[in-house]
Structure 1
């Protein structure tokens, strides 16, 4: 009896959680190591790194301590800067990080700055039993023939557990369910031997499985004999062979398998069975037994290699053939049909590789990345049609290709940096990583030309960015520093990173005026507060160091503080007039303006501002001769024999203004006889236009207007009184020479001046007449008589027209009028002397004395 049952494999492994075990050790290189179980909650304490390294907790924050992960950007732990504890910052799954590796170590780095210090931290991740064993399939189907030999083995796919060590699969249990009983019944048929033994067929065909057990019996149809008893068939004989023996049990003839068959060695066996009776003579019958050995699935597929090795460059194109595995099965038909598949593999392998179930070709179906996985170990299964299988190992070594550019990370940067930072100062820390391997991982770093910085290699793959020369913010305030990292792969790959660095300002530049000196022009009589000019100073420094404040330096102008004349806007530099200026008082002065920045300490510079006061026509011409003095008038005598063009008198006037404002012009605006006298337009000389006749009125009154050339012009008028006479005796009593015309605008002081002049001339005429009578009959001299035109008082600030005024103070006029010559000459002398009659000795009369001798004027003496 045999028993057949379904088999269920149950894998169970249970391990308790490991308690947190922390340990640390120091190496001569500053390394430290911790061991702790996976799946710790974020925030769990791994250890106190400050205590283990012998560091003060306050140093961690001061030196900008941080945890960097070697070779990846993912950070699994962090440091508490307050107490120095190393804590879990993200989920740590040992199976995801290290798969089936016996040891799982994470490399971390503790970076300290000022100075740069690097400590390597090794985190040993311990496995916990967080994964259950799993079979590839939910159900395993086996096809086993009943003729299978005892002891035959059938391979079952093992269960897999993602854990390692004691947490992985340790044992299996087999439970038999629903036993099945099978009973075999054999029927033995006996015959009598009454004839010669005869077989029904000349040949007997037998079909047996090659895996039939030794001792298996095959019933052979007996030979027939008509006789009975001893004459019937008494014995059988079988030709000797290696596989079968003949067993006769009564009438039952059984062919017993004495040695297992092997179809793969012999597919057919022909046996000759002979049946002998007991008669005499003895007769026999033969039959050929053809044994056809049927195939059973007794051979599992066999790989051509137990271990296949292949090399695959990373980033290989899709559908690239990695390797072709091959297995053969000695069986035939469905038992020898081999199909290929992967054994238990991870999802990553399934996403990267595929296997052709018919040909065994393994192809690339995903992106193979050396930096992610450098090698794969894959179990390949070959299975025949009825379930026998075998396994081979495929090891795929991924070769590195230079497909990763260097990654530049800015770990620290001091920005802004003061412009007085000395050369050699570290301003930043750069870290460079390349995920490739070997030569592809070797990186060279460079910095752009033309910047005052350089890269200095530091610890491992760290570089220090240091200054090479003194900085000047006024030349360059911001730097864009481009750092280039190039690996040594073929072809080489490179990457760049731009670091922006600002330069902080110090007060190292004083304000500088745009001009070396400034000139301001202002017209006199300006309004207080009017703007004269603007000074501008530039300070290339920044913010308060570059903020310019303007002020006037203390000084004096004409004995008064400069602040009483000018003021400057401290913010804009605009200079304003505090008072109104008078050109006639002073024409120019200089002040000093200081520009000071707002730095600490402040810097300053000075500039000179020259202020020029320009003249405006604010002064009317002032008549010096004839000059009214009190209530007297001045008059002059004109000889009756004067010819046309003779100089009679001269009007002398000055103007306190300058330039064209002091250019004077003279004009007779009213006269007793308009055609008798003329006046020089610019000289003021009064001359006769024609010879004097007897019919001309003895009393000639002239109103002269003196006008300057300003805009608008200003003018003044004066009255000139002339007597046409050769002898004072001929002059009637002069009572009043003033005009009383109601429309006259002559001022009282002009009337007095005219009276004074007239008095002077009358006196002079009397003297001349007296001299003439005394010398009658004597030879006539050059001058028979003269009338002096005295110099009026000239203020010292009046100047000649070819300068800035109308008349220099050192020049005076003396006029000599002859009574005996036909013409009168006007003489210029350099200075006033005693030979010239003073103004107070001219003919003077009171206004009442001239009222009878002269008519009345219609015009005023000043406009």
Structure 2
């Protein structure tokens, strides 16, 4: 029962150890496969590519490969389907002779980007080895005096397999004296002991022949047997005894020879030679252990005799026997476990597993550049290694799995700043003193198209003279690129646009290789003065980069166009006929010539002069305006016809000219003067060019808004005024002839005001002087009285009238023609109120023209009166565009302006008549005022203009 419990305990310990080892493998490896040992070539291990999350197509493109620390490659990947298979047969006993769990570690590396995976392939042990005893027969002697319970170590069998395939149990042939005990250490049986069950009796049985069988736990189950020959000795019945059956000690590796490891102590209760003890290594101690340690036979001291290396073996198990000198010899047994203490005697070993160069300069942060495997044979802190990069660098090193370190990009790279780096990587362990090793890797940066071509200036201006030859080189565009090779190869092109609807490529071209810009056509300043060209510089990188240059091109004017005369009144501009009056005064404008030049600037600045002009010519010309004026009055000695040549010359280099002929004829004042030349010329000046079209549109828009506002205001005022007039008509009903005198301004303007606002004194209508008693006595008379006064005939103005002071007050405000009674009725009819002049003024003769007197009267205005003697009273000139008939709003009178036929002096006479709307009333009044009207008309006709 006790044996079964021990067996169960050993199995539980083995399972726990196995699970811990498996969990450690799972943590350290990303993939874990298991295959039985001695698998043949081509044996399926696992779907490596799929299990790593990669695509089948990435096997070749990303250069998947397997790196193993072992010199022999046991596994290989099928590049077609990504399956990991056995390349060479693996013998676990050869690969891992002393390790219970045999794992082959693989590194799977892919590029673009660089990634590393760890794959562990556990070689599963198969039961391919049988337990083997070192001899087929063992002989031993046991004194008959040994008490039950005495133990005798036996040399067990050896099995190369591990785990359940190793030796799991022993069986001893059936007997009454002996039994077996085989304590298990960790996962297998390390020793076998023969236990005495009851006392021996040499007289009964002197020799015991037993069979020992060793079994493994594999399937199928193998075993091996050996014969135990036990001789029962009589005599020395006390065996030496160690003070402890199990010893543990520690020794540092690489200690000097002769260093004491431990001193054993055994005693024997016997006396004499039966109590004398000698120490010897047990037969169970391997030979290589015996060569490393030395055991003093009498002292029991174990000293170092060879080289201790922790990396080769860190634990030694030594069995020592204490043998007395009795007959027979009795032996005591003990076991010593010597642990080797590691020292930091191995520097880290660095291996460059992968190097991905050149590195693109736009590699993102974290890009793996290289993978370095670091291994230190030491253990603990002595075997813990840290890697670092000592000098400043845009790279840093990160720890990966199971002693691997990756060199990654830490900051942005710029090939234009530095194109390559030498990275010194130092690996240092944590031992004392620390050991280190270094390795230098060279990282070259590859160029990426990350720099745009740059012009010296983003905007440039050039000037080209017109009439240039086609194909003329006008400019060279030059850009630079900081990249190299293909990324720095620049081509030039022109961004297409139009100039007046014509493609820009019709005007200029550019050499794509050197940036030379050529003019394809001969430019004409008169057609194109300025245009803009955008030149594009593009590199040949992948995704190309570009930048633009704005080229302002100005076409310089050349004096290649002569002046040309223009005329709107004659189809023949080379000879123009002009007539002027013989009575024209000096300084009077006769005509005007105008020439235009298609050039610009000084080349279009024109001056005028007469060519070969006689000295006595009465005409002169303005050099800048071309206006021809009369320099002196015409005399009878002058010719009636002058033929002159006018030269128009620009200010270009060399200057260019144009000539036109003028034929100026003097005519009498009655024959009519053709002054339309001037008006046509003036009209030509007012013609607007295309440049002013926007200004004119703006003026028209503002004028339209103003006109709409004015019309709206006028309509409102007109409606208000119409209501007032209708009210006056209902109250007064005044109808009268409109006669009197008027004042016409020198500016030939006639203004009428339709509202009650005070107006300017351009047109003033006066009432004639007469008897006013009736009106003054009856100021509150009704409209009937006023109508009754209309029956009286108006009187002539007294020849002695003068302007009086009362006229000033009357002239300060405008006289309204809104239907109010301007003509006042008297006892004998309508009576005009004529102004009088103060007594200080000399009395003028009848019909004399006198200037108006009073404040607010234009000093250039004139008044006239009816009366005798005014033979040549001047009549104001009527504007040619003044309407012949117009109606004063609100008034029953119609003002009629008519022009008679030319008189004997060849001048026109202008008349202004005031008539009524109602013809019936006009006929009734016509007889009464006929005499006065005829006299007034005669006076006007006799006046010169």
Normalised to the residue count of structure 1, the TM-score between the two structures is 0.42
Higher relative contact order (CA 8 A, sep 6+): 1
More helix per residue: 2
